[in-house]
């Protein structure tokens, strides 16, 4: 049946057609991946639930990967999978790029870490300062979560206040003070204009006095809250590309208002660009034309190794200088800026020239445009920016978390597994990206597979 005739937009039976096939799709996956199943069963005796990283969790289990090169991953069952997520966007030049491998191998032969600095961390730091508009100084961490933790610590020290404003639906890593209202149940979070903070996980202490939650992309609510409570706010932390809301860019009015309020009241504006730095040569702040005071980084800057960084105004990061006699921000770390990260990260970032970014973003735009054509008369929304895209199982235009929460999560998960059966790796919620080495033919093959899927 032709796609455009199979359903009325918004009708409940659209999602049911694929969901009725969920058991069949899972059975096919299991038949394709017996070795992965055996390893998953074995992992159950080692890791709680059989895994050690929530991000990769999918039903019935994730494929175990044996090797990868470029855009292709090879699982333990001998299947070749076209990667369209690249370890949560962290591999912009693909797997095992020869120049990155050479840089890492060269350093590994000289030692993986020292109790001393190296020129590699300096060179990577210089490259990032030159590229990022707001960056005057930088400190390396070992993850994006740690970078966010340090950003809030610096902001509190600089501002002399404790409260942080974050936005409903935004994910900023696993640090306690930002693990609130990331993916809360809609019946537990109060009215849209004044959300109630909801713990993302057990084990958190009360958020009172430390974090307040506001609606994303709502300049009016932000203005009203900050105007009334500015004397207790240390920082406003914003995702300039909201990952869990569909990889959406914020309205310019919203981020302009955040910048204006921070300037007016002396509050520290933090952009979390752990994913968003992939949007443009200078990150999302370049694309939006708004400079924060601090920016948190990770993923793409490490060349495939664990990494994070915090960059921004010298006046704020200067609170960590060793000769500071009062109010110093301490920050240790055995592997901060280690030479493996420095070498591989510098090689990766050097490959990501403005021309390469332009090609990646052009291909990303092509993917989104083709998906929108397929979904034009279906209850599906295509979002994303730059080299990233997301397929959302909802008719609702997405501007904030509550819009994104209308999606049929089960349909997205079943669709993702069906695409994995066809050899395409996206997230279980159908987020994806292209890389500098992704080919047009690979994108077209994915688009054809998705077109067949929604025609079921």
CA dihedral 94, 98, 104, 106 (to 10 degrees): 180
CA dihedral 109, 115, 120, 122 (to 10 degrees): -170
User: Is pLDDT at 363 greater than 90 in this prediction?
Assistant: yes
Contact 258, 167 (CB under 8 A): no
Please give the full DSSP string across 280-335, using - where no structure is assigned: STT-HHHHHT---SEEEEEGGGGTTS--EEEEE-HHHHGGG-TT--SS------TT
| 326 vs 367, higher pLDDT | 367
> What distance in Å separates the CA atoms of residue 235 and residue 222, rounded to the nearest whole number?
13
Same domain membership, residue 231 and residue 89: no
* pLDDT for the residue 197: 93
> What distance in Å separates the CA atoms of residue 112 and residue 92, rounded to the nearest whole number?
23
Same domain membership, residue 238 and residue 148: yes
**Residue in the block written with tokens 């962290």:** 90
The enclosing domain of 78 has a CATH number of 3.90.1150.10
Same domain membership, residue 326 and residue 219: yes
Same domain membership, residue 332 and residue 373: no
Determine which helix (DSSP H) or strand (DSSP E) holds 272, and give its type and residue range. Answer: strand 268-272
User: Is pLDDT at 307 greater than 90 in this prediction?
Assistant: yes
CA 197 to chain centre: 21
Same domain membership, residue 395 and residue 292: no
> What distance in Å separates the CA atoms of residue 316 and residue 320, rounded to the nearest whole number?
9
Among 327, 351, 375, give the residue marking a domain's end.
351
Q: Give me the domain span that covers residue 73.
A: 3-96+353-454
Among 351, 371, 398, give the residue marking a domain's end.
351
* pLDDT for the residue 434: 98
Domains in the chain, number: 2
Contact 313, 269 (CB under 8 A): no
User: Is pLDDT at 2 greater than 60 in this prediction?
Assistant: no
Phi-psi region of 289 (alpha: psi -120 to 50; beta: other; left: phi over 0): left
At residue 428, φ and ψ (nearest 5 deg) are -60, -20
User: Is pLDDT at 116 greater than 50 in this prediction?
Assistant: yes
Residues 415-441 pLDDT 10s = 999 999 999 999 999 999 999 999 999
Same domain membership, residue 388 and residue 293: no
DSSP letter, residue 95: B
pLDDT grade, residue 1 (50/70/90)? very low
Residues 153-200 pLDDT 10s = 999 999 999 999 999 999 999 999 999 999 999 998 999 999 999 999
pLDDT grade, residue 9 (50/70/90)? very low
* pLDDT for the residue 326: 86
When the pLDDT of each residue in the chain is averaged and rounded to a whole number, the result is: 95
* pLDDT for the residue 305: 97
Cα-trace Rg, the chain: 22
Contact 390, 384 (CB under 8 A): yes
Same domain membership, residue 260 and residue 112: yes
User: Is pLDDT at 290 greater than 90 in this prediction?
Assistant: yes
* pLDDT for the residue 357: 97
Among 351, 373, 402, give the residue marking a domain's end.
351
Same domain membership, residue 370 and residue 441: yes
The enclosing domain of 143 has a CATH number of 3.40.640.10
> What distance in Å separates the CA atoms of residue 120 and residue 104, rounded to the nearest whole number?
11
| 7 vs 221, higher pLDDT | 221
pLDDT grade, residue 12 (50/70/90)? low
Same domain membership, residue 258 and residue 169: yes
């Amino acid at each position: 049946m032709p796609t455009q005739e199979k359903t009325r937009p918004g009708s409940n039976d659209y999602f049911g057609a694929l969901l009725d096939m969920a058991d069949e799709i899972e059975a096919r996956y299991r038949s394709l991946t017996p070795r992965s199943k055996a390893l998953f069963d074995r992992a159950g005796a080692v890791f709680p639930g059989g895994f050690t990283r929530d991000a990769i969790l999918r039903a019935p289990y994730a494929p175990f990967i044996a090797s990868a090169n470029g855009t292709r991953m090879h699982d333990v069952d001998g299947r070749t999978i076209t990667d369209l997520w690249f370890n949560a966007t962290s591999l912009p030049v693909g797997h095992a790029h020869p120049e990155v491998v050479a840089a890492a191998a060269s350093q590994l032969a000289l030692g993986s870490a020292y109790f001393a600095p190296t020129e590699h961390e300096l060179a990577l730091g210089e490259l990032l300062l030159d590229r990022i508009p707001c960056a005057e100084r930088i400190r390396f961490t070992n993850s994006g979560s740690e970078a966010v933790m340090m950003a809030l610590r610096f902001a509190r020290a600089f501002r002399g206040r404790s409260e942080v404003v974050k936005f409903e639906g935004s994910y900023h890593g696993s640090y306690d003070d930002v693990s609130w209202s990331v993916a809360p149940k809609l019946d537990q979070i109060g009215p849209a204009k004044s959300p109630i903070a909801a713990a993302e996980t057990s084990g958190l202490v009360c958020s009172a006095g430390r974090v307040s939650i506001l609606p994303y992309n709502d300049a009016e609510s932000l203005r009203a809250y900050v105007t009334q409570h500015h004397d207790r706010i240390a920082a406003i932390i914003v995702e300039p590309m909201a990952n869990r809301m569909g990889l959406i860019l914020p309205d310019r009015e919203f981020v302009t208002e955040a910048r204006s309020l921070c300037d007016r009241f002396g509050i520290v504006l933090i952009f979390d660009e752990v994913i968003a730095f992939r949007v443009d040569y200078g990150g999302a702040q370049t694309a939006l034309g708004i400079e924060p005071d601090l920016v948190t980084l990770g993923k793409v800057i490490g060349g495939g190794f664990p990494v994070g960084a915090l960059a921004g105004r010298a006046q704020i990061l200067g609170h960590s200088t060793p000769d500071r006699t009062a109010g110093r921000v301490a920050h240790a770390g055995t592997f901060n800026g280690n030479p493996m990260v420095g070498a591989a990260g510098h090689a990766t970032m050097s490959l990501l020239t403005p021309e390469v970014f332009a090609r990646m973003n052009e291909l990303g735009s092509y993917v989104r445009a083709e998906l929108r054509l397929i979904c034009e008369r279906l209850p599906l929304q295509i979002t994303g920016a730059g080299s990233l895209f997301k397929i959302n199982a909802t008719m609702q235009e997405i501007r904030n978390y509550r819009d994104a929460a209308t999606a049929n999560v089960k349909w997205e998960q079943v669709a993702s597994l069906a695409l994995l059966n066809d050899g395409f790796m996206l997230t279980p919620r159908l987020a994806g990206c292209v890389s500098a080495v992704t080919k047009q033919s690979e994108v077209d093959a994915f688009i054809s597979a998705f077109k067949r899927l929604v025609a079921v």
